[in-house]
Every structure is written in structure tokens, then in C-alpha cells.
């Protein structure tokens, strides 16, 4: 369903926007859900995936396999996970790409930027938005 006049609901335009998106837009598209424990701890549903996160595959051939993210391949919209690879005919091993929507993050690699992201996305703090007035503020203003 289309809500804004700046967006198109045409399939070919949506696909073009998806596949020609710039790297920062792809980062957001390549988000993964958090595990129930992390979801409860940080009060956040999903975050963009990054290298060194530990993930568990929840869909596909490699379901229930877990490992550390070794590479986030934005050009192909896939991530590479350690110990998930296949052997080619010549004996070389190649990493298999898995889409981030098919994994859940079980352990976050936290750095200062990631901590601020989690604090900003925390849904418990959504009530106290700066610059917003509550009904109590309005009532107190009428008393003056």
C-alpha cells in the first residue's frame, strides 16, 4: 500500500530502487532480528548486521547452524558466516552467502556507535521525545 507521493508502488521501480541503492541504504536493508534474550535486554527488535556479530541461521538448508559473521557483502545483499561453505570441484572452499533476514543475532559486537544506536532505538524511551508536550504539560501551562 502506497502512503507517500514520493514513493512508487510499481514493481519495476521498486526493484530498481532496491538493486541500485547506495551502500548506506543497503546497510539498513541488511538488518537482522535479535534473539529473544537480546530483544528483552535491549528492548530493540532488529539492528543492521555487521562483521563479528554471532548469528544463528533460522531458515533454509543451513537451519540451526550458528557462527560468527566474517563478511557483510552489501553488493550481493548476503553475509558470510564462518563454517558455512561448500567445496568446489577443484577442491577449493567457497563461502556461501546467506541473506540477513534468514538469521537472528545471538551476540552483538558492541562498539560505542552500536551502543548509541541501541540506546536510540530502545522502545522503552519512546515516550519521552524531546520537544513533545504531554497532556500534563498542557494542563500545567493553563494554570499559569
SS3 2: coil
Cα radius of gyration rounded to whole Å, the chain: 20
Neighbouring CB atoms inside 10 A of 31's CB total 15
Which parts of the chain register pLDDT below 70?
1, 127-131, 133, 143-144
Cα separation, 121 vs 38, whole angstroms: 13
DSSP letter, residue 91: S
In the sheet where 93-98 sits, what is the strand order? 46-48, 31-34, 103-107, 54-57, 66-73, 78-87, 93-98
Q: What are phi and psi of 35, to 5 degrees?
A: -65, 160
**∠131-129-121 over CA atoms, to 5°?**
145
Cα torsion 97, 30, 22, 16: sign? positive
C-beta of residue 95 within 8 angstroms of C-beta of residue 44: no
Amino acid at each position: 500500500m502506497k502512503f507517500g507521493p514520493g514513493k512508487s508502488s510499481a514493481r519495476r521501480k521498486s526493484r530498481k530502487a532496491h538493486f541500485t541503492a547506495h551502500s548506506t541504504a543497503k546497510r539498513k536493508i541488511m538488518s537482522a532480528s535479535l534473539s529473544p534474550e537480546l530483544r528483552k535486554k535491549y528492548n530493540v527488535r532488529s539492528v543492521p548486521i555487521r562483521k563479528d556479530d554471532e548469528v544463528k541461521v533460522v531458515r533454509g538448508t543451513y537451519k540451526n547452524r550458528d557462527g560468527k559473521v566474517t563478511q557483510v557483502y552489501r553488493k550481493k545483499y548476503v553475509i558470510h558466516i564462518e563454517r558455512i561453505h561448500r567445496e568446489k570441484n577443484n577442491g577449493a572452499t567457497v563461502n556461501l552467502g546467506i541473506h540477513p533476514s534468514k538469521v537472528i543475532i545471538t551476540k552483538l559486537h558492541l562498539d560505542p556507535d552500536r551502543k548509541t544506536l541501541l540506546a536510540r532505538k530502545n522502545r522503552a524511551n519512546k515516550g519521552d521525545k524531546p520537544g513533545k508536550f504531554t497532556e500534563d504539560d498542557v494542563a500545567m501551562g493553563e494554570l499559569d
